Chain A
C-alpha cells in the first residue's frame, strides 16, 4: 500500500498569550498550547482516513498541516515522498485541497457560484493547462468555454442543477447546497488529497446522508484520498477505511475502521465509542472528567486521570505508539 503523505514527529505549539517586548525583557516564560504533540502518521493512497477525537484534540490542526496552512513547530511533513517546505508549497497546494467546517464562511459571499467553482481552474499546473488546451481543441471550443463546461460538469456531479445555482450567491443556497458547492470547488482541480473538515456537522441527518453518498461516489470514481475529520463516530464508520483516534494532540489508536470500531484497544477509544448514542443500545457510558488543558498536560500518559485501567507506570511515563497486531496503539496495557 503506497502512501500519499506522512507526518513525522510533528509538533504544533501555539503561543497561549500575547508576549510583548517588555515581557520578553523581564523574562516572562512563554506559555504554549500544545495542539499537536509528536504525531507520526502515514496516510495511504486512494483510501479514506477518518480522524476522530474530542474538540481540542488537534484534528483540524493536523488537516491544516497537510494543506500547508500551518507550519509545524517541529518535525516534518511529507507529500508524495517530498518534504513540505516553503519552496514546494505551490506544488503541494495544486494537489491538495480542504473543505472547511462552516461552508458559508469559506466561500466568498459576493461571488456567484460559477465564479467560485471556476476560480481554482485559473491557477493550475502547466501540464494540466496543456491537457485542457488540447481538450478544447479536440472539442472545438474556446478555452474559456471549456472551463465553464468543466464547472458545469462538476456542479452536476455533486448533485446540484447548474442552471439553478450558477448565478446565485452562497447566501441564497441552503446549508446542504453550500456544502456541495464547497466540495465542487475543491474537486474541480482534481486534487489527489482532499481534507474534509467536519463537512456534514452543520447539516440535518437526511441531508448529511445525501452529501456522504456523493462523497463516496466521487472518491471511488476519481480514486481520491480523503482525510475525513469528524467527531461523529457513526459517520466515520460509514465512510472511512482507516481511523485515527486523537486525544489531546496525540495519536492514541490507528487501524482499519472495522477492526478499531469492533474491538477498540485503547481505553479512551472504548469509552468514546460507548458515549455515542445509537438506536441499538439504550445506554451511554461516558468517561469521567474533562479533556485536559493543553497548556498543562498531565504527566505520563495524558489520559491517565480519566482512565479506568490506570497503573503506576502510566502516571510517570508517556506510552509510545507501538504496533500491536493490525493496530497502532499508545497504551502501556499492550506493552
Chain B
C-alpha cells in the first residue's frame, strides 16, 4: 500500500467561521494505480491533493491519518516533509508556469531536481552524466531540441512545453506518487491528449501511481482505473472508472455524466443538475446533495447517509441502503 488515508477531516478557520471542507474520508491507493478525483469547483478535490503533499494554506487544519510510504505525514515536521516532497510525492499544478522559477533557465532547474535526487539517494554523478540524463528525459517526453530548450527561460516556452518540463522534473525525481491537479485545463485538446498519453506511458513503464484531479469526466475516463466523485467535501461514489461512467449509481454522478453534451441539439435539451453547489458555511441538513437531487425523500433531508459498499463500489446514498 502506497497511500492510505483514514478518517481524514480538513477544516478551514476563517473570519467567517470554521468550516469543514473534507469530511471523514477514507482512501487507499496501491502502487502503480491511476486514480482520478472528479467533482464541480469547490467540491474539495484540490484540498485533498494539498493534504497529501502537505501544502494546505495555514488556515487549514487536517486531522486523521495520511500514511504515505509507511509514514504518517500529518505528524511530520515541515523539515522532514521537505525531504519527502519531490522524491516521494510530486505535485503538478494547473498553471505550470507557477511551478517553475521565472528567472532561472529550464536546464538549471532540471539539473537542480536531479542533484536533489542524487543527494537523497547518496548517489554520485558527474555533471556531464547529469546533463546527459536530463537530455534523455526530455527526449523521452518528445520535447523538441532539448539542448536548446535547456537554455531557455520558462516564459519562452509554449504552455504544453512548460507542462512537459514540469513532468520531466517529475521523471528525474522519480517520485512514488504523482498528484496532478487539473494539469491540462490550460492546454489545447491536442496538447492535452499528448500529456494524457505521456502520463499513461509513465505509469506503465515506471509503475508510478497517479492521483489525477479534474472536473472533466471524459478525461478521467480515458486516464484512470479508479474514480472518486466528490461533492461538498464528501466522496459520493468510488469505484472502477468504467463501471462508474457506464453505470453511475449515485444521482450526482449520473447528473454530471448526463450534463456532458454528446448529441446535437435536435435530440433534446441537455440535462443540468438544478441549483448550485452549497456554501460550506451553510451546508444543508441530511444528505448534502438533497436540495438538488431528483430522487429526494424524507430520510435524505434529516439524516446524512454513510458510505456503504455495494457491487464493488463505495456509495453515499440512501437509495442503496
Contacts and interface: CB of A to CB of B under 8 A. Distances in A.
Partners in one complex: yes
B189 A275 contact: yes
23 contacts: A205-B256, A206-B256, A206-B273, A207-B272, A207-B276, A213-B270, A213-B272, A216-B265, A231-B188, A233-B189, A235-B261, A238-B261, A238-B270, A239-B265, A275-B192, A275-B193, A276-B193, A277-B223, A278-B262, A279-B257, A281-B222, A286-B192, A291-B188
Contacts of B216: 205, 277
Contacts of B196: 277, 284
A205 B260 contact: yes
Most central of A279, A290, A291 by chain B CB within 10 Å: A279
B263 interface: yes
A30 interface: no
Interface in B254-281: 255-257, 259-265, 269-273, 276
Contacts of A218: none
Contacts of A318: none
Given A176-B276, A234-B261, A238-B265, A287 B190 contact: yes
Contacts of B217: 205, 279
Interface residues of B, number: 44
B158 interface: yes
Interface string A261-279: 0000000000110111111
B263 A238 contact: yes
7 A-B pairs with the lowest CB-CB distances in the bound complex, closest first: A286-B193, A238-B261, A209-B272, A275-B193, A277-B218, A284-B193, A209-B259
A286 B194 contact: yes
A150 B223 CA distance: 48
A279 B193 contact: no
B86 interface: no
A284 B218 CA distance: 11
The winner among A55, A258, A277, A287 for most chain B CB atoms within 10 A is A277
Given A239-B265, A277-B218, A206 B40 contact: yes
Main secondary structure of the interface of B (DSSP, over half): helix
B205 to A, nearest CB: 17
Contact of A277 (B144, B159, B219, B273): B219
A204 B270 contact: no
Given A213-B272, A276-B189, A285-B193, A237 B218 contact: no
Given A234-B261, A238-B270, A290 B215 contact: no
B242 interface: yes
B270 A209 contact: yes
Interface range on chain A (Cβ under 8 Å from partner): 35 or more
B41 interface: yes
Contact of A283 (B40, B222, B246, B264): B222
Contacts of A239: 261, 265
Given A234-B218, A279-B262, A283-B222, 11 more contacts: A204-B40, A204-B215, A205-B40, A205-B216, A206-B255, A234-B260, A257-B264, A271-B190, A275-B190, A279-B246, A281-B222
A125 interface: no
Contacts of A213: 269-270, 272
A312 B271 CA distance: 49
Interface of B: 40-41, 142, 144, 158-161, 188-194, 196-197, 215-219, 221-223, 242, 245-246, 255-257, 259-265, 269-273, 276
B222 A290 contact: no
A287 B262 CA distance: 23
A286 B222 CA distance: 13
A231 B186 CA distance: 12
A275 B218 CA distance: 11
B75 to A, nearest CB: 36
Interface string A183-223: 00000000000000000000011111110110010000000
Nearest to A273: B189
Given A206-B40, A206-B272, A279-B221, A284 B197 contact: yes
A237 B261 contact: yes
- Which of A174, A206, A282 counts the most B-chain CB atoms under 10 A from its CB? A206
Nearest to A48: B265
Contacts of A290: 144, 158, 160-161, 191
Contacts of A276: 189, 193, 218
A286 B158 CA distance: 17
Given A206-B259, A238-B264, A282-B221, A54 B270 contact: no
B215 A272 contact: no
Contacts of B257: 279
Interface in A146-177: 174, 176
A20 B66 CA distance: 59
